[in-house]
Structure 1
Amino acid sequence: MSQPVPPPPVPRRHPQSPRPVPAGIAAFGALLGVRGPDRARFAELGELLMVGDPLMDDFVAWMRTRESTPIRRQFDQALRHGIDSVDAPPAPLKTLFDELETVPDWVDARQLEVAAAAMRAAGADGLTIARDVALLGGYQFAGFNQTLLRTGALEKGSNARFAETSQWAMDVISPGGLAKFGAGYRSTIRVRFIHSMVRRHVSALPDWDEQEWGLPINQTDMAATLVGSLVAPNLGGFGIGIVHRPSEYQAIAALTRYVGHLMGVRDDLLPTSFRSAVAILQHTSSALATPDETSMRLARPMADDPLQWQYRHFAPLRRRVARSQHLSVSTAFLGPKAMATLGLPTRTPPWYPALALPGNLARSGIALLPGGRAWTAGRGDRQARALMRTMTETPATIGATTTVAEHVT
């Protein structure tokens, strides 16, 4: 008689029961009828802390046994022009790109464009929510932080790190960005490649405790990052008056699903509707929201980043105002308890959300008019790019803030 297959090991970082999730996520979950993860789902999220990205990991493992420079040239050629443009591609490269270039039947190009336009319309305030709520709040997930700190995060700085993340997101939502070989398609696959390199590097470090932390950049972490980057800012947008049509929220879920597919996230962790996207956000948060001392180490420098931003006029004053603005957003959405956990001021009045609300509501109304969405998308894109130039004079490069990536890309 065959012996039963033992369940996969579950790292110690996985809590015994679901953790409390941020109030905003819980509120939206309740509004949409989303419940917390059941016992089976919660256990699965623990098991997936040990699962990486087999397709890309196999390619990277093979590449590391060869001279990498010519392979990287072929990789870049396939990324920009397709595997058929590569002369005599090696079998592992062809296997990888045959999979990447196969667009699933469920992808609707029109939905991707609808979602991208709605997300561009969020403009600088959309980036602000992504920075001050999604990214900063994510530092309460200690498991993420352990990998991040081993890739040179503190040395490179949070400002450059957020600029790089923002550049990836802007590539994804650019017009035609997710078309085959488009800017978002290329950036997402580059991020996937870098994730695999980091996974391989960090897991081999002598101070990496797999029994404690699991596999670096695992499936549960990737799913949480995906919905945290693309879905959570759209939830936060409600709080400052950025409101979309119901059909646009469904399109945002469809865009998130395809980006996750390109990123190497398992199908059962990808949203099929906006409600399921909120469920994934809530369930992964309940499995990962465990802060530790690394939360403060990463959050505190980020709070002061606006003091270094590039303003042409009245720079000292505008930097202080920008710091207060971003702290006001974090305090309003994360709450004093989370701010204390992150080692940040807890009493900043939520003045910026109140100030931004009327204008954003007005623009949300304009988007309903004929030609309105195109106007708000164009305006928002210009605003976001202006904020990017303010944050850093040097254009962000995908992978540039990861020390490991500097040696392999």
Structure 2
Amino acid sequence: MTATEPLTAVPGGPAAGACPTRFKYWERKDLPHWQRRRRAFRRLTGHDLFPTDEQARMLCEDQFAGDPVAERFVADVFFGEIGHRRGRQLLDRALDHGVDAVPEAPESMRALFAELETVPDWVDRDLVEAGAAVWRRWGTMLFSVAGAITLEIYTEGAVAMPLSLAGGYAGDNALRRFLETSKFWIDVSEPGQLFEPRSQARKTAMQVRVMHVAVRKRVGDHPEWDHDAWGLPISQTYEQMTQIGGAVAPALMLWLAGVQTTPKEMRALIHFNRYMGHLLGVKPRWAPTTIVEQLQVLAMSTAARSYDSGPAGKELIESFPAAFAPREGQRGLKRLRAAYNHRIYSAYCALWMAPSTRRLYDMPPAFPWILIIAARWPLMTAVELVRRVPGLGGVHAAAMDRHRRGWHAAQMDGREAEFDASSALRR
């Protein structure tokens, strides 16, 4: 069976649009409670709550699609005669000096870098920069909202199993990998860096892309992975969901914490995340490019949930707030900082997880710490108003950027992000 071959013909769904068996969209989209939600959404917005059937079909099929260009490179180099250690050295040299500085580079590596260095015609550089500026303005709030809202999708085996098998976001590794992801967010949102050929942003994006492919290969070959049920590990659809998780979803959620993002800024975020996704090898059949389309994809994925991640999802979800708790050996200011982070991230999880999801897991108490978020809401709102005063927006953004860098450096405590593609699965 090929990666894009339909698996089933679901009654009521387009014949060519079959989904992995655990993605229950076609069976559930016409249930009464979803029909009520569709009517309410149409009255409010004039649009359907769900994508068109053709768009939904493409999202379903993309759950069996990967990243062929990067996969050929990884198979050639990392899993071939060159091996992981030497392959990483070649990759880093090409990222630092250009692929022409690697005369022994195989054709698959040259094809990968040709794709990296080609800016698609649809890209609006000014809009990309405007979206990156929003991430910088959010500061550490990006880290908190992105980390917390991601827990919702960990209920799904298609997402939780690759992360659980790789071990990066579970148990004691949860904080380390989250901080690596935070480093990625910082790097790619630096001004102008996504378009600079030798920038740290592009280097980090390529390292993450290669890491995803290596994990996809290992997990896809693992006996616990069910291709019919979940499609391809780290598929195009779920990678695209990550881009939505950096655009409209957090923009709306942050209003609950007093951070206001306008529709114009959301449109810039969508474009920025789409180009960032391109650098990561995310090239879906259909990319939602409007606020409504991103909401439709979120609604579709919510309707399709099967809550089948079991112990893997439980470990991932419960590991996230626990990762910020004080660690053995921490003293003084470091311990106080860790204690605060643990409590405020527990509150963020309560704020941005659905209560019905949170009740399924053993999560730390949010009260009274959530009162901190409520108490500072007026201040955050005032800051949002002040930053719109001419001349003050740049000052605010610079301060938030410095704060996120300082927070990340304190958490890393001298360590460096590795984005390692060589690690074996933990079981």
Identical pairs, percent: 27
More deviation, 173-182/62-71: 62-71
Moved more, 106-115 or 267-276: 267-276
Q: Deviations over 1:318-356 (max 9, x none)?
A: 544433322222222324222112332576353233123
Q: Which runs of 5+ in 1 are unaligned?
A: none
Please give the alpha-carbon distance, in whole angstroms, between the structure 2 residues aligned to 1:56 and 1:145: 23
What residue in structure 2 maps to residue 264 of structure 1?
281
Cα distance in structure 1, aligned partners of 2:164 and 2:189: 28
Give the one of 14, 22, 29 matched to 1:13. 22
Identify which of 271, 294, 304 aligns with 1:254: 271
Q: Secondary structure at the match of 2:324?
A: helix
Residue of structure 1 in register with 2:382 after alignment: 362
CA gap 1:160/1:73 in 2 versus in 1, 3 angstroms: closer
1:147-166 map, 5 Å: 147-153=162-168, 154=170, 156-166=172-182
Say whether the 8 Å CA contact 1:260–1:270 is kept in structure 2.
no
Residues 78, 85 of structure 1: 8 Å contact kept: yes
* Counterpart in the other structure of 2:241: 224
1:168-179 map, 5 Å = 168-179=184-195
CA–CA separation in structure 1 for the residues paired with 2:183 and 2:57: 34
- Give the direction of change, closer, same or farther, for the CA distance of 1:267–1:206 in structure 2 (3 Å limit): closer
Q: Please, which runs of 5 or more residues in structure 2 have no aligned partner?
A: 9-18
Verify the 8 A CA contact 2:95 2:198 in the aligned structure 1.
Answer: yes
Tell me which moved more, 212-221 or 63-72. 63-72
From the superposition, tell whether residues 403 and 231 of structure 1 become closer, same or farther in structure 2 (CA, over 3 Å): farther
Q: Which residue of 2 aligns with 1:58?
A: 72
Which AA in structure 1 matches 2:72?
D
Residues 343, 366 of structure 2: 8 Å contact kept:
no
User: Quick one: distance in 2 between partners of 1:148 and 1:31?
Assistant: 37
What's the TM-score, normalizing by structure 1?
A: 0.85
> Partners of 2:131 and 2:380 in 1: how far apart?
18
Alpha-carbon separation, structure 2, partners of 1:176 and 1:6 = 40
Q: Is the 8 A contact 1:141 1:291 kept in 2?
A: yes
> Are 2:139 and 1:123 aligned?
yes
SS of the residue aligned with 2:323? helix
Q: 1:146 aligns with which of 158, 161, 168?
A: 161
Contact 1:306 1:391 in 2 (8 A): no
- Name the SS for the 2:194 alignment partner: coil
The CA deviation at 1:276 is 3.0
List aligned pairs for 1:8-407, cutoff 5 A. Answer: 8=7, 10-15=19-24, 16-18=27-29, 33=47, 35-63=49-77, 64-68=79-83, 70-87=86-103, 89-131=105-147, 133-153=148-168, 154=170, 156-179=172-195, 180-288=197-305, 290-293=307-310, 294-308=312-326, 313=332, 319-345=338-364, 348=367, 350-400=370-420, 403-404=423-424
Could you tell me whether the CA contact under 8 Å between 1:223 and 1:260 is conserved in 2?
yes
Q: Secondary structure of the equivalent of 1:48?
A: helix
Question: Post-superposition shift, 1:169?
Answer: 0.9
Which 10-residue stretch deviates more, 248-257 or 279-288?
A: 279-288
Distance between the aligned counterparts of 1:213 and 1:326, measured in 2?
Answer: 30
Indicate conservation of the 8 Å contact 1:164/1:400, yes or no: no
Distance 1:284 1:187, change over 3 A: farther
Q: 1:230 to 1:401 in 2, by over 3 A?
A: farther
CA offset at residue 102 of structure 1? 0.6
Q: Find the aligned partners of 1:282 and 1:31 in 2 and give their Cα distance.
A: 15
| Contact 1:111 1:254 survives alignment (8 Å) | yes
Q: Distance in 1 between matches of 2:5 and 2:138?
A: 47
Contact kept, 8 Å, 2:41 with 2:49, in 1: the verdict is no
RMSD value over aligned CA atoms? Answer: 3.2
Deviations 1:13-46 (A, max 9, x none): 221334999xxxx999986545123444444433
Q: In structure 2, how many angstroms separate the alpha carbons of the residues matched to 1:267 and 1:45?
A: 8
Does the CA contact (< 8 Å) of 1:116 and 1:173 recur in 2? Answer: yes
Task: Return the TM-score normalized by structure 2.
Answer: 0.82
Aligned-partner residue type, residue 190 of structure 1:
Q
Residues 202 and 279, structure 2, Cα contact 8 Å, conserved in 1 = yes
